[in-house]
Amino acid sequence: MDLEEMKKEIGKLVLEKGFYNETKDIPKKLLFAFIELGEASDAWKKGEREEEIAEELIDTIFYVLDTSRLACPSVNMDEMFQRKLQKNRGRPFQYGEGHRSKS
Ligand SMILES: [Mg+2]
């Protein structure tokens, strides 16, 4: 399943379950994504099983893709992933992490 297919499945789930589904709800969805990242961090710190950590990371992806559905519906997320991957590949080694050598 690619990102666009995941986005469609998430959209169906949102309608089926009556979740927030308007552009005014975008900040809430982004906040929920952060909360899920916090849950993933917490699971890691507590030494939870890998499946627990993975589930929280998937929750994060759900909210991120759900947000993309409302915030940038005309953008193909698979194409954007490829473009961004190429862009990041074009950056120099340790781009933006120069502080490591400044200590
Ligand atoms: Mg969760």
32-74 confidence digits (pLDDT tens): 999 999 999 999 999 999 999 999 999 999 999 999 999 999 9
Instruction: Give me 23's structure tokens.
Output: 């552009």
CA 84–ligand 1 middle distance (angstroms): 27
Q: Residue 65 half-sphere exposure, CB side, CA atoms within 13 Å?
A: 23
Is 3 contained in some domain? no
Determine the Cα–Cα distance for residues 53 and 49; give it in Å rounded to an integer: 7
Q: Cα(12) to centroid of ligand 1, in Å?
A: 19
In a domain, 95, yes or no: no
Q: What spacing in Å lies between the alpha carbon of 32 and ligand 1's midpoint?
A: 9
59 in a structural domain: yes
Residue 38 CA to ligand 1 center (angstroms) comes to 9
Domain enclosing residue 26, as ranges: 21-89
What's the average model confidence in pLDDT over 8-32?
98
